[in-house]
Chain A
Amino acid sequence: MSFLREVQLEREFGPFVVFHEALGFTPNLLHAQSSLPRLIEAQAKLENGVRFNAGAISRIQKERILLSIAADRQDAYCVAMDNTVLSTLGVPDEQIDDLLNHLPSADLSAAELASLQFCLKLSRDAPSIQLEDVEELRAHGFDDEAILESVALTALAIYRCTLSAGLSPELDFAPRKLSFAKSNSAREKTYRLLPFGHVRARRKGPYVPAPYLSPKTFAPFAIIEKSHGFLPNFFRAQTLRPDLLEAQLEATGWILQPEDILTRVQKECILLAVSAANLNSYCVAMHCNLLRGLGMPSEEGDQIAVDYHASDLGPSDKALLDFAIKLGTRASEFSREDVVHLRTLGFSDEQILETEVVTALNNFANTLQMGLGIEPDFVPPPVFQQNKVQLSGGATTPMQGEGAVQLVDILRDADAELVSQAQGGSLEAFEELVRRHTQLVYRTLMAILGNPADAQDAMQDTLLSAFKHISGFQGRSKFSTWLVSIARNTALQHLRGRKNVESLDEGECKEDRDFRPRQVRAWQENPEQCHSKTEIRQLVEAGILALPTKFRVVVMLRDIEQLSTDEVARQLGLSIPAVKTRLLRGRLMLREWLSPHFTASTRGAVQ
């Protein structure tokens, strides 16, 4: 019996038919998920897209990758299943033995051996994958599609192994040979694993080219844009294979969208915590952002990434994360007792099953991201990054479990010393802090309130409020970020009395992106020379004040206060893509505003 409750599904159930046609049987791994058939649909989508459909890599080659990873992870269920599949595809028993015991004797081409070694390295130690590993595959004649497929197959293998550990389905076939474990040391030499210290802080990616796909013509992109508010690099990086993207999107839809068992927030917390345990800062940043969209304050998301035990989550949610992290990062230690423990805390079998599948999906996504070197959309929480740097120095294995990410280091902030004095009651220290950031506070207030008298009033309130609350500032962000958040709240309170308050929220409306430039005449060579500095400043100030608030705030901080885009995102609690969209829109509106004064023909005259 597998760990969780099963029900009898019809043989004609669509995903069963898919597997029956491809393999000649329906794996027990699917039956073990039968209490939530939609999760079987999800796995069928992934397997169909990545494994069964014809692609750049031959079917036998794909099966050899799956078997090798299952063997490497000592997953008896997947090994028994995959070696039977390979046999039915005509691979001789001797070669299967060699795949399990000693790769170099398996009579494979140099290219296929290289690809197996790449996949095993990705599976064992994803953070160590570098551009060089991908280049090595290219040197063996793999094209970009084959590389993308290898990464996706590794991700799929890990998805299946995670599920098999969590569900413990009965073997589909008697184990013909399970001697792979004993000769591990001989295999070790064949993989050129780099010590973990070699991980670079930033790797160049993405590793395969991503042709442009428009959300207008590729429907899945429109859906992703709608759910994320923008198009994350995670999806953009896979445009070489729209079919794989579609399969992932459908699978993700079956797993994450319904809220009948676990809530969306619970699922995002699992994805966040397991990504953090996998040291995947890309996915950490993405799920922090999604949680923020679901109404969780960004500090709380950061806290879950760094150490969820210290977060505001309830005890049962924390236990759920303990469970998911153990399954996701230490599957070999996972046992029926872990399942029983969750049951005693009141979790249903369906909730446990969904947790396991979300964890498997997380490992799938983490593997894809690392294997493709997908570049971040957001700044990951600073504390988390800092931990990562600390870890890579001393740790010997990439997956340290939850203990490793708990060391919280205080951020290096030039204001830290003064802040602690001010927290100790020093008014002089507080005054110095205030003077350092006067312009930043004023410009934030001007941006939101739009007139100097109100901004100056609000400035006084901001500073008083900052002093009142400074003892509660815990140093999880920079002091200036915290001060700006107080200024923002103060300004919003001032606005409350006014009519037609414009929203600063994350939400993007259609008009944000459909903005079309109207003035198309060329500008003078050196436009600023025909006007005095004062004239230009008045013109710019008037133009900025004419912008809708949400664009004005971004332009003010980025172009006037000259913070980096990342910093603006942090200060305003927006995602980087949202900042970028608004910044461009604001700049284009300013361009329209300034155009009549600077076009070549008008020489400053307003037309």
Chain B
Amino acid sequence: MITCEEFLAEFGDYLENRVSPEIRQELESHLSQCRACQVLCDSTRKTIKIVTESSSFELPQCVSDPIIERVMAKLRTDRSE
């Protein structure tokens, strides 16, 4: 069986579904027997879900509009000069 270290080496690709069927099988047989990696895998998947669904760093329109308007105003004045 592969070690936790080897599992970690492929973990990123595994999360993104980018491993070959053979490697997937090895990883999953490791998972079925290693509690620490199980927890890691489950909580990392949950992390990704939470992060992607958090709508973090959204610039509200009430902030972005004045910025864009300032830029456009400057471009218009530059042009008319």
Contact across chains for B56 and A541 when beta carbons are under 8 A apart: yes
| Residue in chain B with minimal CB distance to A462 | B71
Minimum CB–CB distance for A228 against chain B, Å: 16
* Size category, B interface: 35 or more
In the assembly, what is the distance between CA of A490 and CA of B50, in Å?
A: 30
In the assembly, what is the distance between CA of A459 and CA of B68, in Å?
A: 9
Minimum CB–CB distance for B44 against chain A, Å: 5
Contact across chains for A580 and B54 when beta carbons are under 8 A apart: no
Contact across chains for A560 and B23 when beta carbons are under 8 A apart: no
- Give the interface of A toward B (CB within 8 A): 209, 212, 214, 427, 430-431, 434-435, 438-439, 442-443, 446, 456, 459-460, 463-464, 467, 517, 519-523, 527-528, 533, 536-537, 540-541, 544, 555-556, 559-560, 562, 565, 580-581, 583-584, 587-588, 590-591, 594-595, 598
Given that A427-B76, A442-B57, A520-B40 are known contacts, is A540 also in contact with B50, CB under 8 Å in the complex?
yes
Chain A residues within an 8 Å CB radius of B54? 533, 536-537, 540-541, 560
Q: A212-B23, A443-B57, A584-B15 are in contact. List 11 more A-B contacts (CB 8 A).
A: A427-B76, A438-B59, A439-B58, A463-B71, A517-B36, A528-B49, A565-B16, A583-B12, A590-B51, A591-B43, A591-B44
In the assembly, what is the distance between CA of A559 and CA of B46, in Å?
A: 12
Contact across chains for B47 and A587 when beta carbons are under 8 A apart: yes
Minimum CB–CB distance for B67 against chain A, Å: 6
| Residue in chain A with minimal CB distance to B44 | A591
In the assembly, what is the distance between CA of A160 and CA of B57, in Å?
A: 58
Given that A427-B76, A459-B67, A598-B43 are known contacts, is A528 also in contact with B53, CB under 8 Å in the complex?
yes
In the assembly, what is the distance between CA of A590 and CA of B72, in Å?
A: 38
User: In chain B, residues 28-81, which have Cβ atoms closer than 8 Å to a Cβ of chain A?
Assistant: 36, 39-40, 42-44, 46-59, 63-64, 67-68, 70-72, 74-76, 79
Contact across chains for B56 and A522 when beta carbons are under 8 A apart: no
10 residue pairs, one from A and one from B, having the closest CB atoms: A584-B12, A540-B54, A591-B47, A442-B59, A523-B43, A463-B71, A559-B51, A541-B56, A537-B54, A540-B56
In the assembly, what is the distance between CA of A278 and CA of B74, in Å?
A: 50
In the assembly, what is the distance between CA of A432 and CA of B39, in Å?
A: 46
Minimum CB–CB distance for B21 against chain A, Å: 10
Minimum CB–CB distance for B49 against chain A, Å: 8
Contact across chains for A460 and B51 when beta carbons are under 8 A apart: no
Chain B residues within an 8 Å CB radius of A427? 72, 75-76, 79
Minimum CB–CB distance for A603 against chain B, Å: 15
Contact across chains for A209 and B70 when beta carbons are under 8 A apart: no
Minimum CB–CB distance for A446 against chain B, Å: 5
Contact across chains for A463 and B68 when beta carbons are under 8 A apart: yes
A-B pairs with beta carbons under 8 Å apart, 12 shown = A427-B79, A431-B72, A456-B63, A463-B67, A464-B71, A464-B74, A527-B46, A528-B49, A560-B56, A581-B12, A587-B15, A587-B47
Minimum CB–CB distance for B55 against chain A, Å: 6
Minimum CB–CB distance for B9 against chain A, Å: 8
Contact across chains for B56 and A544 when beta carbons are under 8 A apart: yes
| Residue in chain A with minimal CB distance to B74 | A464
Contact across chains for B51 and A555 when beta carbons are under 8 A apart: yes
